[in-house]
Amino acid sequence: MTFWEKLAEASRRNQSLLCVGLDPDPARLGGMPVAVFVQAVVEATQDLVCAYKPNLAFFEALGTGGMQTLLEALRGVPARIPVIADAKRGDIASSSRFYAQALFEAYDFDAATVNPYLGHDSVEPFLEYGDRGVFLLCRTSNPGADDVQGLRLKDGRTLFEAVAELANRWNTRGNVGLVVGATWPEDLVRIRALCPELPFLLPGAGAQGADLGQALRAGLDAQGGGVIVSASRQVLYASSGDDFADAARRAALGLRDEINRERDALLARR
């Protein structure tokens, strides 16, 4: 089963376009071990999500045991829920090959985020894993995204529009998606117009303050799908007390249902 099939099945089963980002900050866990915290969040939310997305930075910061901790943290993720490694890797081909091997073989992630700055040959080693998903960074959710991605090209396009069009060209195996911050709904409209077929991973829905309705209106494809809405802090830190897992569940449930309501309302108006 490819990542996309697994994603569609999890999305259908859980009636969800919500991906929970697993970005555990030890300073916010009140002394609880990272793996235990993440396991509890996963247990509390696994019937509400279409995917999980651990950000590797948070595990690498733990030192040499970090990736073992990540595997432990993910132990309770049901096999039917895909896991997207938020890794933002990218290197010259001979090195990217080893990053792809790490993510797709050593850790067996279903998908990964990849940085396009080094060009096609740097991305191709990831794409060669045809059953895995590769989300290219296009328009990231952060305030400084404009510094580089927003630069205006000679032909009138912005850089992120050019990257979106490259993603279409590089998608020879049908396994390319794009990371587009839900924080930029107007840009999302333009990227959807350029890439009607590509799935979008939309971070920024929660703590980063994006408007869900706007993001969905802009991002949904012609079939009313093609988006994964990712939220991390809003779910993980919904409560700083002992009820963090229950609170994470309530936050995830609220987000899932809000996404579904917004989507249904949008589709009803189409």
Residues with a catalytic annotation lie at 88
CB-nearer residue toward a copy of itself: 10 or 114: 114
- 166 contributes a contact to a copy of itself by CB under 8 A: yes
Please report where in the chains the tokens 């943290």 appear, as a residue: 73
Applying CB under 8 A, which of residues 1, 36, 148, 222 lies at the interface with a copy of itself? 148
What single-letter DSSP state applies at residue 129? Answer: S
Nearest residue (CB) to a copy of itself, 23 versus 110: 23
The tokens for 164 are 């979106």
Q: Verify binding: residue 33, a copy of itself, rule CB under 8 A.
A: no
Which residues between 41 and 60 bind a copy of itself (CB under 8 A)? 55, 57-58, 60
Q: Which of residues 181-210 bind a copy of itself (CB under 8 A)?
A: 203
Q: Which is nearer to a copy of itself, 106 or 222 (CB)?
A: 106
**Which contiguous run of DSSP H or E holds residue 86?**
strand 84-89
Task: Output the six-digit token pair for 128.
Answer: 């060669």
Q: Rule CB under 8 A: choose which of 19, 73, 112, 137 binds a copy of itself.
A: 137
Cβ burial of 268 (10 Å; 0-12, 13-18, 19+) is: exposed
CB 53 within 8 Å of CB 79? no
Sign of torsion over alpha carbons 128, 191, 194, 197: positive
C-beta neighbour count of 75 within 10 angstroms: 10
**H/E segment holding residue 218:** helix 212-219
Interface with a copy of itself, residue 240, by CB under 8 A: no
- Which of 46, 96, 175, 234 touches a copy of itself (CB under 8 A)? 96
163 binds a copy of itself, rule: CB under 8 A: yes
Which of the stretches 5-13, 42-50, 81-89, 126-134 binds a copy of itself when contact is defined by CB under 8 A?
A: 81-89
What is the rounded (10 degree) CA torsion for 53, 58, 63, 69?
-40
> In 3-state terms, what secondary structure has residue 136?
strand
Asked whether position 177 contacts a copy of itself by CB under 8 A, the answer is no
Applying CB under 8 A, the residues found at the interface with a copy of itself are 23, 25, 55, 57-58, 60-68, 71, 86, 88-99, 101-102, 105-107, 115-122, 137, 140-149, 151-154, 156, 159, 162-163, 166, 203, 233
